[in-house]
Structure 1
């Protein structure tokens, strides 16, 4: 079987779970072509991500002439399909002229991509936003069945605006990464379509699951692995750190990641007098992330909106308990047996949970870590989940 994967940007620092899924699908005997709409991240700290560069074809790296020529040839060769796809592209814009223009560009991309899928029996997109739109248009142009994986929270913030029901309606299958995610898809489909909604969970890198157990950390060290963006709740984390300092609770917090809020977060750290207690490392490769997690007694992620963060799986696989929020798919993996789950947006609850993590004795941390690791190994094995995805493609 030959399958094509389509992602908005691939490879990317935050999309390593897609790389692992592709590897699992290939291990199950499926040939996978890789397509990225936009050029990959300029900086890829992980060697495994860099290895994907020569295997990936970037649509917008093609010349404008090549893209427009593909659209013209498609329109002349298959006028009926082209007009149908054009109507669908405009329909997905939901009556918004600027968005309609963007979807016409998606149609041009789809015309080019459809001509590169010889022998492909399934096109699979990650994310229900523009990759799913392009995949749907490829299907309308060529008849090649498509599926897509919905992660959240973007798709759930405005499902009507991205015409999620239409994308689901034409898809052969739609995958969610959690039961919560599937329930949100059920909201936007009729019960007779629920059978096509599947759960395929993200998987962790084998380097996280195969490490020899390490004793719990005695130092007052916490870490947060996150993109420095609004949905991760990091300003709240800095406020909580200031409250810990005010209570004379010793700690050090390391933020691993980068993003559009870095300058704002750095300013908050300085303004609250936390320069000696909070460190930002920027992006690290997988080995660097493992090192930071293993140096911490708990990983903290106070997100406001999520799907189900892979970094929580990685921390638990390393037997590191987590402090996180009761949102989206997180409670399917984390509860009091392996972490501290707090209401999103509550700085008071976050402070108490962080204080409890800092006060926990080694035996408690060890027991929590073992529970978390067991759950991750049972549910988030990348190879097993890739094989499950391959079976769905074959079905």
Structure 2
């Protein structure tokens, strides 16, 4: 623990190094450091499955009673993940204790939270976690999820929608202290670059090609726009398991001259693809397996560049867009999506106004500095409150 008057010490427990799609974690860490906290990051896994297995065996055989206590804390229904969490916690507990944090924090309420809570139980340190979307929406064990979250000193959610989704999953949020902290966006705010009108409406999507992104709906909407005489170009950046299916749909709709699948590209190339775009299109939906976006980073990237967005009213997206920050339509409705794009084409001034409002909301509500202040306020309260219980 840090002495009175010294910077708050925060131990971040991450399952692995943040990926390309998890830049909000590094943005948050940088902002927390900039706000004056002393931060150390502890990564549980380097991806070596054999090394993980050895750690599990060493922990279970070397400390069977402690491992059993960890498993009981997380719930017997959480096996074998509880045993894996116990192994990771056993390895991290010493280095984290040596750092002497006031609070342990993690992102995602599946395995990372299980690890963090066990570290907290060993050291008597408050533990907090951030819930996003897929980390709990794809968790079929609602009882173990609720049990795991009850071990936290405080739960952060990225949206009010996420809180509702957790309740739907059987989590008793009334018994768990919680509050909203956004997934921070620290990208550069770029002045939109007007391009000479050429009569072609350029639509852009940057997304992993999976069901929840709704790219098939966007393709159908593009086909409808062409049917009514709109000249369209649609660029899709990203790859995924549905790419072949989506390319086949493009051929079936006779859109091969209109739609370009650029595949997996760098972040720089993907964001460059937004330059000169007329609209950022992302018709998100709930997938058949329950997966759902939280607040897509792509929409934030578009907002930061002044590109109007056309998306859907699902999950936390309305909390980003607000009532007048873009066009929002029901999911799985290509006619409504095409109509929204058509409105944007014929009302470029309105598109600019909505893009301006969205950029302002991104600066005001999703800045890393604001999220850091929200986190530090709660962490400071927990640190003053004494030991974790």
Counterpart of 2:58 in structure 1 is: 69
Please tell me whether the aligned partners of residues 71 and 111 of structure 1 are also in contact (alpha carbons under 8 angstroms): no
CA 1:255–1:6: 2 relative to 1, 3 Å: farther
Counterpart of 2:331 in structure 1 is: 344
Q: Deviations over 1:243-290 (max 9, x none)?
A: 222333111111122222222222322332222211122344443333
Please tell me whether the aligned partners of residues 24 and 382 of structure 1 are also in contact (alpha carbons under 8 angstroms): yes
CA distance in 2, matches of 1:233, 1:35: 35
SS of 2:118 mapped into structure 1? helix
CA distance in 2, matches of 1:254, 1:339: 20
SS of 2:86 mapped into structure 1? helix
Using the TM superposition, give the Cα deviation of residue 17 of structure 1 relative to its aligned residue in structure 2, in angstroms.
1.0
CA distance in 1, matches of 2:118, 2:244: 39
Using the TM superposition, give the Cα deviation of residue 37 of structure 1 relative to its aligned residue in structure 2, in angstroms.
4.2
CA distance in 2, matches of 1:273, 1:349: 21
Q: Deviations over 1:125-164 (max 9, x none)?
A: 2111221122223333443332111111441354643622
SS of 2:101 mapped into structure 1? coil
Counterpart of 2:369 in structure 1 is: 383
Match of 1:262 among 231, 243, 260: 243
Counterpart of 1:55 in structure 2 is: none
Q: Deviations over 1:166-220 (max 9, x none)?
A: 12211011000112223344564557535x201111221242x2x2343477451
Matched, 1:106 2:95: no
Using the TM superposition, give the Cα deviation of residue 12 of structure 1 relative to its aligned residue in structure 2, in angstroms.
0.6
Q: What's the C-alpha RMSD, in Å, of the aligned pairs?
A: 2.6
Counterpart of 2:3 in structure 1 is: none
Please tell me whether the aligned partners of residues 10 and 35 of structure 1 are also in contact (alpha carbons under 8 angstroms): no
- 1:11-160 to 2 correspondences below 5 Å: 11-39=18-46, 62=51, 64-66=53-55, 68-73=57-62, 75=63, 79=65, 81-93=66-78, 100-117=79-96, 118=98, 119-156=100-137, 158=139, 160=141
- 1:292-331 to 2 correspondences below 5 Å: 292-304=273-285, 305-331=292-318
CA distance in 2, matches of 1:217, 1:146: 53
Unaligned regions of 5+ residues in structure 2, if any? Answer: 1-7, 286-291, 382-389
CA 1:121–1:259: 2 relative to 1, 3 Å: farther
Match of 1:225 among 197, 202, 206: 206
What TM-score do the two structures reach when normalised by structure 2? 0.84
CA 1:37–1:191: 2 relative to 1, 3 Å: closer
What TM-score do the two structures reach when normalised by structure 1? 0.83
Matched, 1:282 2:260: no
Unaligned regions of 5+ residues in structure 1, if any? Answer: 40-57, 94-99
Q: Deviations over 1:332-359 (max 9, x none)?
A: 2225522111111112212212222333
CA distance in 1, matches of 2:335, 2:192: 33
